Amino acid sequence: MKFKIDYHIQSIYKLDLTFLKKSHIKNLVIDLDQTLDSPFSVIPSSDAFKLKDELNKLDIKMYVISNNRLKRVKPYCDKLKVTYLSRAKKTKKKRILQFLTENDININETLFVGDQLLTDGIYTKKINGLFLLVEPLTDVDNIFTKINRKIDIIIRRKLLKRNLLGIELGGK
């Protein structure tokens, strides 16, 4: 499968948010584990709360799409006060498109952010969205992600050699 990576940055927390405004982005759809927070964070980090507040000031809505279980995603997103989709089945687009439609999210005004090519990258390409690839926040993954992560690292190395990891966005 060919990957379509539009942008790359070390972390969502290093993104200059004025870039979103200049790019006419009205929605940020973010993966939870390893993108927004550690896979073992029960409550949102201060960085996550700060990001949400800064996006609100710019009138940009934040959403979370995760493959993780409701038991993991709901308490986190409820505390952060963001709309979410759990058990998204990210390699398939049906549930994600349904979520976007139900929440009146225009794909053309949305930036999708994730740390994995095999999940976040695949679904974003299938729905023809703009994709920002970030590096995982920590070295510790949950057991279900470990195999994907090893494959992801190999793919990233190949894409980097071919200069296909997207436009590098300067950080704060």
| Residue pLDDT, tens place only, 145-158 | 777 778 888 888 88
Model pLDDT for residues 22-46, shown as the tens digit of each residue: 999 999 999 999 999 988 888 999 9
CB 63 within 8 A of CB 103: yes
Measured between alpha carbons, how far is 40 from 44 in angstroms, rounded to an integer? 10
pTM, full prediction: 0.91
Nearest by Cα to 112 from 20, 44, 48: 20
